[in-house]
């Protein structure tokens, strides 16, 4: 399973990349709005750090505008993937950009049928938002299971990119379902490695080793 960092915060991305933990990055207008500086410069810097897809989202809502914006964003760096919302205009733009060899990540996906249409339009990735479904008392992970089952029957090149991840159990459940990619905020990625018994165990090993060294003096 590939793990992407769902953030535009460069210090976090650099740190996670140094662990060898991340294979890509997803950003969105909200995440970029939290950072200081020019969004396109930030996206370029992220692409230089991460050797994998970096999603940059369009803010146009008409398909011609999305295509124009997508083409401009794609010029920032070869790692850029264009995030397009799951709307009718989004499908048209996805088809046009994909035909031009520009990879699209169809975002804001909340139903299996949106994912199916994204795949048919040529999206390289489809991003179902599980946390936002959980927030409205709808079990988000069912959406992942449904999309994976549907994609399994056909030979789309589209990969499921599990998004809107809120905690480590989302990552675990997505991995158990065989989702190819999960994008998670840095906080969640850090939670994946931390365990109190690891900390307690390490502390005890080091204390015992210190005692042994003192005895040998
Ligand atoms: C994914 O690509 C989105 O950027 C992100 O996962 C949305 O997460 P949120 O629902 O926590 O805002």
* pLDDT tens per residue across span 22-36: 999 999 999 999 999
0.75 surpassed by pTM:
yes
Determine the atom of ligand 1 nearest the C-alpha atom of 55: 2
- Model confidence at 182, pLDDT cuts 50, 70, 90, reads very high
pLDDT at 33: 98
Mean predicted confidence (pLDDT) in 119-139? 98
Separation of 131 CA from ligand 1 center, angstroms? 8
Residue 132 Cβ < 6 Å to ligand 1? yes
Residue 105 Cβ < 6 Å to ligand 1? no
Residue 149: CB partners within 8 Å, gap ≥ 6?
A: none
Residue 158 Cβ < 6 Å to ligand 1? no
- Model confidence at 74, pLDDT cuts 50, 70, 90, reads very high
CA gap 142, 188 in Å, rounded: 21
Query: Residue 134: which region, alpha, beta or left (left: phi > 0; alpha: psi -120 to 50)?
Result: alpha
pLDDT at 94: 98
SS3 184: strand
Residue 37 Cα to chain centre, angstroms: 22
pLDDT at 8: 98
Query: Residue 36: which region, alpha, beta or left (left: phi > 0; alpha: psi -120 to 50)?
Result: beta
pLDDT at 40: 97
**Which residue has the least CA distance to atom 8 on ligand 1?**
164
pLDDT at 215: 97
CA atoms within 13 A on the CB side of 156: 23
**Which residue has the least CA distance to atom 5 on ligand 1?**
164
**Token pair 């930030």 in the structure block, residue:** 42
The b-or-e profile of 5-44 (16+ CB within 10 A means b, else e) is bbbbbbebbebbbeeeebbbbbbbeebbeeeeeebbebbe
Which class for 147: exposed (0-12), middle (13-18), buried (19 or more C-beta within 10 A)? buried
Looking at every residue in the chain, the average pLDDT score rounds to 98
**Token pair 């990055």 in the structure block, residue:** 25
CA gap 192, 186 in Å, rounded: 10
- Model confidence at 150, pLDDT cuts 50, 70, 90, reads very high
**Which residue has the least CA distance to atom 1 on ligand 1?**
163
pLDDT at 73: 98
Mean predicted confidence (pLDDT) in 60-79? 98
pLDDT at 156: 97
Number of domains in the chain: 1
pLDDT at 137: 97
Q: What CATH number is given to the structural domain containing 149?
A: 3.20.20.70
Domain that holds residue 72: 2-216
- Share of residues in the chain with pLDDT > 70 (%): 100
Widest CA span in the chain:
77
């Amino acid at each position: 399973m590939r793990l992407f960092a769902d953030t535009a915060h460069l210090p976090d991305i650099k740190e996670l990349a140094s662990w060898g933990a991340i294979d890509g990055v997803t950003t969105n207008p909200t995440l970029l709005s939290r950072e200081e500086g020019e969004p396109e410069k930030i996206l370029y810097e992220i692409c230089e750090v991460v050797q994998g897809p970096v999603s940059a989202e369009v803010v146009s809502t008409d398909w011609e505008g999305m295509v124009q914006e997508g083409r401009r964003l794609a010029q920032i760096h070869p790692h850029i993937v264009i995030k397009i919302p799951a709307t009718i205009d989004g499908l048209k733009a996805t088809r046009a950009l994909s035909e031009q060899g520009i990879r699209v990540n169809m975002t804001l996906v909340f139903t299996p049928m949106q994912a199916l249409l994204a795949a048919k339009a040529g999206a390289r990735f489809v991003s179902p938002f599980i946390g936002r479904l959980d927030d409205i008392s709808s079990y988000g992970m069912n959406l992942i299971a449904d999309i994976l089952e549907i994609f399994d029957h056909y030979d789309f090149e589209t990969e499921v990119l599990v998004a809107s991840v809120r905690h480590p159990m989302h990552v675990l459940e997505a991995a158990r379902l065989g989702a190819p990619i999960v994008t998670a905020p840095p906080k969640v990625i850090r939670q994946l490695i931390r365990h109190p018994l690891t900390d307690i165990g390490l502390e005890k090993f080091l204390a015992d080793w210190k005692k042994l060294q003192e005895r040998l003096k």
